[in-house]
Structure 1
């Protein structure tokens, strides 16, 4: 176990260097989606860890909010107070959002926190169990428009179609800027159809599949995309690599890449008017070398197993490793990178404890997933 962990740490250091080579020279980075606190699912976002990560990866500022905290009642008040304290401690690098529960006096809590320095609102319909046609949303959007603060709303897994109802709120309150988290994958095509081309509506990049970001870029203009990690769920260097490589594969130019990394979010944070979106980029047809397509398929099968902390009894990593033996596609360098990542991931996975402290098991599974995620990013973003 220790040997595999040390090898994994060395690999992460190598990929940190790869990330530095791929970042535009002198690029600013703004992370539009981070959490601090403790979630009821066991995930922990630690202030010192986030601060170290920002320094290590050159991240200038972040939007930050609390998790679905054990002490979330009443009204996320305790978590919001901690967020405000973290923001003050950061000296301006962390920009606090107030998290709301629509069932617990959300307007009073929003006003309380906005008056104390919060600069945005976080909504999570899956965690807080509300739909986007909920009449209690209108006063929240109205307040955001009045105070000129953005709303960041969960748009990832676990939701029914949300585009029509969300678009109605945007149309009713056009002065309320909106960030749809996780590239809006819950309803991506419909969200892009209803909200694409609207200045002041953004989608963040915090997803695990590169295909989702490639799908996003072909549907909305680059002015509507903001880089985000979803820390502590999303981790570096994969979070930045997936955003960078998909943006370039979608044929964004250098300035557009820089705007995704920081420029668009800076305008939100600084209260500047949103730019009118340009035409989407990207391609409708995705081409991929066959060996890398097979690897991506098997790694997609591995992901839910790791998330639920199961062993690889199916043998999907072995299948992905065998696919690395393909010598006919002209991508030997990338296949060797993938092989190295997956060989270490398999050792880590086999050593994952079956019992014991649940937090230790979660951290072990996440360390293993980081390797697999990097391998999948390479597999998907290597051009045919």
Structure 2
């Protein structure tokens, strides 16, 4: 097990190094979505781990909030207090957001924490089981507008359409600022119709699929997109690689990328007025060699198997590896994908043989990180140099 785990660590380190070459020198990294605490789902984000995660890439800071904590009742009060303490301990690196439960004095808890130094509000309609037409949201948005603090709201999986109700809340509170998490994939088309070009509304990039981020860049100006990892769910180098490579594939300029990676979020953190968005730079169609489309398809099939802790009985990673053998002019990219997938295959097999559940979980998460990197490369292959037919073995 240790041998294959060391291979994985070596690959992560190598991709850390190659990623730095893609990040503009002028970029100041700021992560718009991290957690600190422990979730009832078993994931944990201890303070020291979070700070190490941010410092490894030289991040200036992050918007931070608690998880769906075991002691979340009443009103996330204890967890919010821990977030405030972590922010104070970090010396300004963590910008604390207060997390609310609409069933337990949300307005009172928001005021309490904002008075104590919180600088944003976190809402999670899936975890806290509320709809966006809930009348208890109106005073929360009004408070955010009055205090000039952003609201970050879960916009990912597990939700019905949310765009129309969110639009109504923002129309009623034009001074409010909103960060829609996870690219707004729960309702991306409608959200972009309502909010593309809307000053003070942003989307964070904390998703697993590079296609979702490419779609976002095709619908929303880059001035409205902020880099986010969703730590501890998002890890490096995958989170940054996802944002950087999709931005380049979408045609963002270097100044655009500087803003996405931190400039825009730093202005939000500083309380500066929102800038006027331009036009979306991305394309509504995906350009991808067919072999890379096949690789992406097989890797996408692997993800739900991993998440549900199943073995690769279908052999999807073998299919992805076989697709890497095609000769289409992207030899270097295919070789890098093959190396990642081969290591993931071996890790996945090792996870099935692990005796302790903790080992299986750790190996499974490392396997996902490898597959995620491979998929990002496959989907964004257009930014790769194309080999000549001779060097690719064609002709």
Q: Which TM-score band (shorter chain)?
A: over 0.9
Per the alignment, residue 381 of structure 2 pairs with 382
2:121 pairs with 1:121 = yes
In the aligned structure 2, how far is the partner of 1:233 from the partner of 1:64? Answer: 13
In the aligned structure 2, how far is the partner of 1:208 from the partner of 1:153? Answer: 18
Per the alignment, residue 85 of structure 2 pairs with 85
The equivalences for 1:190-229 within 5 A come to 190-229=190-229
Per the alignment, residue 364 of structure 1 pairs with 363
The equivalences for 1:93-104 within 5 A come to 93-104=93-104
Per the alignment, residue 340 of structure 1 pairs with 339
Farther-moved stretch of structure 1 (280-289 vs 180-189) = 280-289
Gaps of 5+ in 2: 384-395
**How many residue pairs were aligned?**
383
CA contact (8 A) 1:120 1:152 kept: yes
2:39 pairs with 1:39 = yes
Q: How far is the alpha carbon of 1:147 from its aligned partner?
A: 0.8
SS at match of 1:79: helix
Per the alignment, residue 48 of structure 1 pairs with 48
Per the alignment, residue 390 of structure 2 pairs with none
Per the alignment, residue 350 of structure 2 pairs with 351
In the aligned structure 1, how far is the partner of 2:168 from the partner of 2:101? Answer: 21
SS at match of 1:28: coil
The equivalences for 1:1-384 within 5 A come to 1-327=1-327, 329-353=328-352, 357-383=356-382
TM-score (norm 1): 0.98
In the aligned structure 2, how far is the partner of 1:269 from the partner of 1:25? Answer: 21
In the aligned structure 1, how far is the partner of 2:354 from the partner of 2:319? Answer: 27
Moved over 3 A (4+): 353-360
From the superposition, tell whether residues 87 and 340 of structure 1 become closer, same or farther in structure 2 (CA, over 3 Å).
same
In the aligned structure 2, how far is the partner of 1:81 from the partner of 1:356? Answer: 38
Q: How far is the alpha carbon of 1:150 from its aligned partner?
A: 0.3
In the aligned structure 2, how far is the partner of 1:96 from the partner of 1:357? Answer: 36
CA contact (8 A) 1:196 1:220 kept: yes
Calculate the aligned-residue CA RMSD, in Å: 1.1
CA contact (8 A) 2:64 2:83 kept: yes
Q: How far is the alpha carbon of 1:109 from its aligned partner?
A: 0.6
SS at match of 2:329: coil
Gaps of 5+ in 1: none
CA deviation map 1:345-369 (0-9, x unaligned): 0010001146755444322211110
CA deviation map 1:175-227 (0-9, x unaligned): 11000000000000000001111100000000111110110011111110000
CA deviation map 1:75-103 (0-9, x unaligned): 01111011001001000000000000000
CA contact (8 A) 2:31 2:62 kept: yes
SS at match of 2:128: coil
In the aligned structure 2, how far is the partner of 1:293 from the partner of 1:353? Answer: 28
CA deviation map 1:122-167 (0-9, x unaligned): 0000000000000000010011011110000000000000000010
In the aligned structure 1, how far is the partner of 2:308 from the partner of 2:75? Answer: 30
SS at match of 1:32: strand
CA contact (8 A) 1:42 1:359 kept: no
In the aligned structure 1, how far is the partner of 2:95 from the partner of 2:131? Answer: 27
CA contact (8 A) 2:26 2:258 kept: no
